[in-house]
Amino acid sequence: MELGKRKEMILAAIVEQYIKSGEPIGSKLIMQSLPISVSSATIRNEMSDLHEMGLLEQPHTSAGRIPSQAGYRYYVDKLMNKDVLSEDERKMIKTELERSVGNPDKLLEKAGEMLAKITGCAAVATTPTDEGATIKHIELMPVGTRIAMVVMMTSSGIIKNGICRTETELTPDMVQSFYDIVNECFIGHPVSDVGTVMIQTLVASLGANALAMSPLFVVLADIANQALQAEIRLEGEQNLLHHREFGGNIYEMMQFFDEKDKLERAISGGKNGLQVIIGKENMYRQLENSSMIISRYSIGGHDGGAIGIIGPTRLDYARLIPSIEYLTDLVGKLLTDTFEE
């Protein structure tokens, strides 16, 4: 769909005025905000055409117009001029995030908290997954004569741990044997290779040590599987209670947020870079009155995860998108620096 220049100016003005006020926009207000001289009657005719094209809606017979979901889509794709993030805003975001450098989980939590505060929306983030990553380090930490913690770090920086109880006491010889096997069979190998079949084959080769050491490798397989699963973080969902646009739909949304597997799919199925998903473009009915702005971060040049917001369709896209892009880019850089140390 292509609009003439005047229609585009009028549509952009309506979207931007409605974002500011939340009230239907009439022709007189548009006439005052346009950079060209156009009569009120001409504007009304153009608004009527935009309504017929499905880009505007008229909530009441005598009221002005508001953007439809299609109108927001056209505005974001073709008309929007993104704001430029000020140096003070960049510095504030950078300073806050750098306080959590070295702790990937805390960094993503802080990123979500900041986005929720900056945008007044719900903020979501997914942790990195280890598809294609390799095992970088494994540590065995005895915490008792028969209890130990197995800690694994991957090349993408994910750290997972698990507790196991052994059938016999953990002797220094057993610990050394564990490290010998780890160095030969696990370090540098893909995380995705560590599965039930591999562990069964390995345990079968341990001979007399199988009973004593098999719990350690079973736990190792379990935490490797955990590393392959993205975890989702949600911050500031209570912010959505302040957006009157949701009405009764807010309760459905809050219930939806408890279904973490669906929420993770909703934000992780997109392409690299930034996506703006408006209204019924969302894959789940509970989000059909919402907009999502989702940006993917990379770690060491590889896809890491997603960070973004969920809010009403009446969002200040031009102001919020630069903040989300900058924050996501910075999270990727800080995670990359952490994992390369």
CATH code of residue 16: 1.10.10.10
Determine the average pLDDT of the residues in 292-315.
90
Based on the fold, state whether residues 161 and 251 are members of the same structural domain: no
Based on the fold, state whether residues 159 and 208 are members of the same structural domain: yes
Residue 326 has pLDDT above 90, yes or no: yes
Question: What type of residue sits at position 241?
Answer: L
pLDDT tens, position by position, 146-199: 899 999 988 777 788 999 998 888 888 888 989 999 999 999 999 988 888 888
Residue 80 has pLDDT above 90, yes or no: yes
Handedness of CA 141, 143, 145, 147 (dihedral sign): negative
Based on the fold, state whether residues 95 and 176 are members of the same structural domain: no
Alpha-carbon distances of 319 from 86, 118, 168, 314, rounded to whole Å: 11, 10, 61, 12
Residue 234 has pLDDT above 80, yes or no: yes
Q: Of 213, 201, 200, 221, nearest to 166 (Cα)?
A: 213
Number of structural domains the chain divides into: 3
Residue 10 has pLDDT above 90, yes or no: yes
Determine the average pLDDT of the residues in 18-23.
93
Based on the fold, state whether residues 296 and 158 are members of the same structural domain: no
Based on the fold, state whether residues 245 and 332 are members of the same structural domain: yes
CATH code of residue 149: 3.30.390.60
CATH code of residue 330: 3.30.450.40
Q: Which of 227, 258, 273 represents a domain boundary (last residue)?
A: 227
Provide the residue range defining the domain that includes 196.
135-227
Based on the fold, state whether residues 103 and 241 are members of the same structural domain: yes
Can you give the pLDDT at residue 269?
A: 64
Based on the fold, state whether residues 170 and 198 are members of the same structural domain: yes
Based on the fold, state whether residues 235 and 332 are members of the same structural domain: yes
Of the listed ranges 157-161, 205-209, 278-282, 328-332, the one predicted with least confidence? 205-209
Residue 47 has pLDDT above 90, yes or no: yes
Can you give the pLDDT at residue 128?
A: 79
Q: Which of 162, 197, 227 represents a domain boundary (last residue)?
A: 227
Contact 28, 65 (CB under 8 A): no
Strands lying side by side in the sheet with 135-142 = 135-142, 147-154, 159-165
User: Which of the pair, 162 or 267, is modelled with greater confidence?
Assistant: 162
Question: What percent of the chain lies above the pLDDT cut of 90?
Answer: 56
Based on the fold, state whether residues 105 and 240 are members of the same structural domain: yes
Can you give the pLDDT at residue 49?
A: 95
Based on the fold, state whether residues 299 and 201 are members of the same structural domain: no
Based on the fold, state whether residues 222 and 242 are members of the same structural domain: no
Can you give the pLDDT at residue 341?
A: 60
Determine the average pLDDT of the residues in 67-83.
96
Can you give the pLDDT at residue 130?
A: 64
Based on the fold, state whether residues 287 and 307 are members of the same structural domain: yes
Q: Which of 45, 62, 79 represents a domain boundary (last residue)?
A: 79
